[in-house]
């Protein structure tokens, strides 16, 4: 019985990772914080005005639809960096991506995402 429970748990966790997740989204790339063109973990040049996100484990190039769970606004983005490394946060969004669905002055929003 234990192997079945463990297998079910692993499959569930894989589905959550592949299909989506919910938590807190933050943003990075304030003017002067990261130089434009600085290499990301995925090898692209950083662009604060691009619709990109950092995720801890999703493969580079993965497309996501990120939704602000309080307003329902969403934006389609591409994983091109690693992070965030703050407990409870699931994505670090670029300046532009975050601004499409949230107020940058808030710094963090409740969000979820789905792979697309």
Identify the pLDDT of residue 14. Answer: 46
Beta strand 63-68 with 108-115 is antiparallel
Identify the pLDDT of residue 27. Answer: 98
CB-based contact 54:78 (threshold 8 Å): no
Task: Using alpha carbons, select from 91, 112, 83 the residue that is nearest to residue 20.
Answer: 112
User: pTM score, two decimals?
Assistant: 0.82
Identify the pLDDT of residue 19. Answer: 82
Identify the pLDDT of residue 16. Answer: 47
CATH node for 20-115: 2.40.40.10
CB-based contact 15:99 (threshold 8 Å): no
Q: What digits encode the pLDDT tens for the residues 37-86?
A: 999 999 999 999 999 999 999 999 999 999 999 999 999 999 999 999 99
Q: What digits encode the pLDDT tens for the residues 11-43?
A: 444 444 458 999 999 999 999 999 999 999 999
Q: Which residues contact 90 (CB under 8 A, 6 or more apart)?
A: 21, 22, 23, 24, 25, 55, 84, 111, 113
């Amino acid at each position: 019985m234990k192997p079945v429970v463990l297998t079910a748990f692993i499959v569930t966790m894989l589905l959550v990772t592949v299909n989506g997740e919910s938590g807190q989204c933050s943003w990075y790339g304030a003017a002067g914080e990261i130089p434009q063109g600085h290499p990301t973990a995925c090898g692209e040049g950083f662009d604060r005005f691009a619709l990109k996100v950092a995720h801890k484990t999703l493969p580079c190039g993965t497309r996501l639809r990120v939704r602000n769970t309080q307003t329902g606004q969403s934006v389609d983005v591409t994983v091109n960096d690693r992070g965030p490394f703050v407990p409870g946060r699931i994505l670090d969004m670029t300046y532009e991506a975050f601004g499409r669905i949230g107020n940058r002055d808030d710094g963090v929003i409740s969000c979820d995402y789905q792979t697309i």
